[in-house]
Amino acid sequence: MVDAPAGSRAAGSVQSVDRSLDLLEALAQEEKPVGVAELVELTGLPQGTVHRLLQSLNQRGYVRRDASRKYSLGASAVRLADAAQRSLARSARPHLAELVELSGETANLAVLEGDDVVYVAQVPSPHTLRMFAEVGRHVPPHSTAVGKVLLAGMPRERALAVLRRTGLAPRTPSTITDLDEFATELDLVVVQGWAADEEEQEAGVRCVAVPVGAPGAVVAALSLSGPADRFAGGRTDGLVAQMQRVARAFADA
């Protein structure tokens, strides 16, 4: 087999399925409808193949073809997404509860939805003083620990593309607003395997997050968050190890 420069296929996977997912993800990336030729560019697949796979996806409503023969994601994708959120939330709950037990702070599970971070499950801290973030809330990726983890887990070029679209709006005085500086922060997250949010999203709130899934295939992030004075930096080291253990258990393998 010759090696494909972009879009090489993982062992033991079905070619046409893999390629269809490539197409869906390419479409998700673009914010406007995309023609076949451009998808050929983006995925490196032959024209005929792109066209045929799109037909399959179109028939099932996962992509839409508009009057100008350009394609975008379709309604069926929406249906799947919601079901996926529910089942993720359900299976995460016991793991989040374990983290709350260990730390006394609020635990969250977050995933990327388009360019936003969205919290899909939460187990709140037993403390009366607990912090923010309802389930379903969308937050920008650059000012949160979970966002950093999720961005660090994707190819750098893609992460930068997300940040270019969302921008790095200041949420607090601590928010990182410089792209280069943020890229350095991502490097740090990659090597240490976890991320912190030092009151960058909400004044007085500190947050620590770890990735779920193999490096390079990060699908979600687990976080603990609490008031900055109670949830101090000194406790971080031990907790991160525990969080990583729970993340592995959740992702299993």
Contacting range for a second copy; rule: CB under 8 A; set: 69-77, 168-176, 177-185, 226-234 = 69-77
Site for DNA in 73-92 (CB under 7 A): none
Cβ closest to DNA, residue 7 vs residue 238: 7
80 binds a second copy per the rule CB under 8 A: yes
The answer to the question of residue 15 lying near DNA (CB under 7 A) is yes
Select the span of 17-25, 96-104, 120-128, 215-223 touching DNA (CB under 7 A): 17-25
User: Residue 1 binds what, of DNA, a second copy, none (CB under 5 to 8 Å, by partner type)?
Assistant: DNA
Q: Applying CB under 7 A, does 253 fall inside the site for DNA?
A: no
Which partner from the list a second copy, DNA, none does 48 bind, CB cut-off 5 to 8 Å by kind?
A: DNA
DSSP secondary structure string, the chain? -PPPSSSPPPTT--HHHHHHHHHHHHHHH-SS-B-HHHHHHHH---HHHHHHHHHHHHHTTSEEE-TTS-EEE-HHHHHHHHHHHHHHHHHHHHHHHHHHHHHSSEEEEEEEETTEEEEEEEE--SSSS-----TT-EE-GGGSHHHHHHHHTS-HHHHHHHHHHH----SSTT----HHHHHHHHHHHHHHS-EEEESSSSTTEEEEEEEESSTT---EEEEEEEETTTS-GGGHHHHHHHHHHHHHHHH--
Residue 101 contacts a second copy per CB under 8 A: no
Binding site for a second copy (CB under 8 A): 10, 12-14, 16-18, 20-21, 24-25, 27-29, 31-33, 52-53, 55-57, 59-62, 64-67, 72-88, 90-91, 111-116, 118, 120, 212-213, 217, 219-220, 252
